[in-house]
């Protein structure tokens, strides 16, 4: 064989080797530490050719920030023994049976709740929020700029439409924008923890915005991003406003599941996270509640998820 032909073959083999798809990193398995969470984020970011923290330009000088959530397995719901606890620690009947769930694909979840400014920019609609300059709760704001307050007063359809408008603004490298399933939400919220809140077995008002109804209290939402971040870098997973999920509400199964998306139909949608008016009990990682899709409330907002290209969700 001529020397030139050998050079051509060697060049082709070199190109094939350099473009070979690397094996994906190992998925996480809860419980895992903050250090393990960060290491997994970095490994999966490299595998996807993305950053751990991605910014999406939505126009109007606004950029939405998303954190990479690596795939993994965790125990969803509450242990049955927590049904016997009292006060804020007590689990509810719809949080059992606790069951193993695997999130098989990486995704990105909003670092923050969707803000009022982001909602208006994305949808082109008027700000529906009660706690806004023109809203019914403006007297409680004392001149505060609410652009970075969470949007609230949105029903499920409006939340889903907000995800659709974000999808239309995504560039290459992204497949979809969506509301998270409640399994995606709880996995991301826990971030490797198995305690009642991602901060531990107690939640304080320095860590989250809750229990704010009453004399001498703030009696409203607040700017997103205050309080304690979890191991994935997410903020306001406990309190401030509830977050719509994609799922219809239904009872849990005790079976192990992969990427569950809830029942095929129903009359109510799932919300997660608690809100500014609730006690800490309603802000637990496992706490779930249901609302009819048409309801709008001053404690009800959303957080969006992104699906990278090549991931099927």
Residue 61 confidence (pLDDT) above 90: yes
Is residue 106 very low, low, confident or very high in pLDDT (cuts 50, 70, 90)?
very high
Residue 2 confidence (pLDDT) above 70: no
* Cα 183 to Cα 111: distance, rounded to the nearest angstrom: 17
Percent of the chain with pLDDT over 70: 93
Q: What's the order of all strands across the beta sheet hosting 300-301?
A: 288-291, 269-272, 242-248, 300-301
Nearest to 304 by CA among 85, 70, 69: 69
* Cα 184 to Cα 227: distance, rounded to the nearest angstrom: 22
Number of helices (H), then strands (E), in the chain? 5, 13
* Cα 146 to Cα 128: distance, rounded to the nearest angstrom: 12
pTM score, two decimals?
0.92
Residue 20 confidence (pLDDT) above 80: no
Is residue 10 very low, low, confident or very high in pLDDT (cuts 50, 70, 90)?
very low
Tens digit of each residue's pLDDT (9 = 90 or more) over 223-269: 999 999 999 999 999 999 999 999 999 999 999 999 999 999 999 99
Residue 285 confidence (pLDDT) above 80: yes
Beta bridge partners of 66: 54, 110
Q: Name the maximum alpha-carbon separation found in the chain.
A: 90
Tens digit of each residue's pLDDT (9 = 90 or more) over 151-193: 999 999 999 999 999 999 998 999 999 999 999 999 999 999 9
* Cα 190 to Cα 30: distance, rounded to the nearest angstrom: 9
State the DSSP code for 293.
T
Lowest mean pLDDT among 5-19, 58-72, 81-95: 5-19
Query: Class for domain 29-113+152-308, per CATH?
Result: alpha beta
Round the average pLDDT of the chain to a whole number and report it.
93
């Amino acid at each position: 064989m001529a020397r030139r032909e050998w050079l051509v073959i060697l060049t082709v083999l070199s190109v094939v080797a350099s473009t070979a798809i690397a094996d994906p990193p190992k998925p996480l398995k809860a419980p895992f530490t903050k250090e393990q969470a960060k290491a997994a984020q970095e490994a999966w970011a490299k595998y996807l050719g993305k950053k751990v923290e991605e910014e999406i330009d939505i126009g109007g000088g606004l950029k939405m920030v998303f954190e990479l959530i690596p795939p993994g397995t965790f125990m969803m719901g509450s242990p049955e023994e927590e049904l016997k606890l009292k006060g804020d620690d007590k689990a509810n009947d719809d949080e059992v049976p606790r069951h193993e769930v695997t999130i098989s694909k990486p995704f990105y979840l909003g670092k923050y709740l969707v803000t009022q400014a982001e909602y208006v920019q994305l949808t082109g609609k008027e700000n529906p929020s009660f706690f806004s300059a023109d809203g019914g709760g403006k007297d409680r704001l004392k001149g505060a700029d609410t652009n970075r307050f969470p949007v609230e007063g949105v029903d499920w359809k409006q939340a889903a439409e907000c995800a659709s408008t974000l999808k239309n603004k995504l560039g290459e490298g992204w497949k979809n924008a969506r509301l998270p399933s409640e399994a995606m939400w709880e996995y991301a919220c826990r971030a490797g923890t198995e305690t009642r809140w991602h901060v531990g077995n107690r939640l304080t008002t320095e860590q989250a915005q809750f229990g704010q109804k009453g004399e001498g209290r703030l009696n409203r939402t607040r700017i997103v991003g205050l309080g304690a971040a979890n191991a994935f870098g997410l903020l306001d997973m406990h309190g401030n406003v509830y977050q719509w999920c994609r799922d219809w509400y239904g009872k849990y199964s005790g079976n192990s599941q992969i990427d569950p998306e809830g029942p095929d139909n129903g009359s109510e949608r799932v919300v997660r996270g608690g809100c500014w008016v609730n006690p800490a009990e309603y802000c637990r990682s496992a706490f779930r509640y249901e609302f009819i899709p048409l309801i709008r409330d001053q404690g009800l907002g959303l957080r969006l998820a992104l699906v990278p290209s090549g991931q099927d969700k």
